[in-house]
Amino acid sequence: MSVTDLNLSAAHAEVKAEIARTDSKTSLLLAFVGALLAGTWTVAKDTALTVPTCTVGGLGMALLLAAAGLLLSSVRPNLSVRHGFPLWATLSAEEITAELAEDQRARDIAGLARIAVRKFTALKRAVDLTRAGGALLVLVALLQAGGAL
């Protein structure tokens, strides 16, 4: 095997692993955000809240919902890509054989890397929104406990 061949194989495996890592992180964060939303809703519906605490809490919940939307978009399959199995689904058996007769790893790496970057970008934004929404909910809890609002 040539150095290029080894590097292509390593890069291909790495980008696939990165996609799997993002999907795992996204799943965990989606479960966390869902639990946070459910818990907050359960507590808030049985609590007398002032208008300011409702406003701040509502903003926190909205940020968490936006984070959940980003996470869902991150795990939503994109079947419009033109490499790998979505491409193969559009080809005949003969075309697949011709396609696989050539080394397509570099093209596949580029396409998978773009997918990974999109997923990581959505995950990063969702984490930021979760932190901001959670901070607002903590603020509401502290203010509510102290009776400040």
71-130 residue pLDDT tens? 999 999 888 888 888 888 999 999 999 988 999 899 999 999 999 999 999 999 999 999
Please give the Cα distance from 70 to 32 (Å, whole number).
14
Domains of the chain, by residue range, sit at: 3-146
Q: What pLDDT does residue 131 have?
A: 97
Segment 54-69 shows an average pLDDT of: 96
The label of the residue with tokens 């696989």 reads: 100
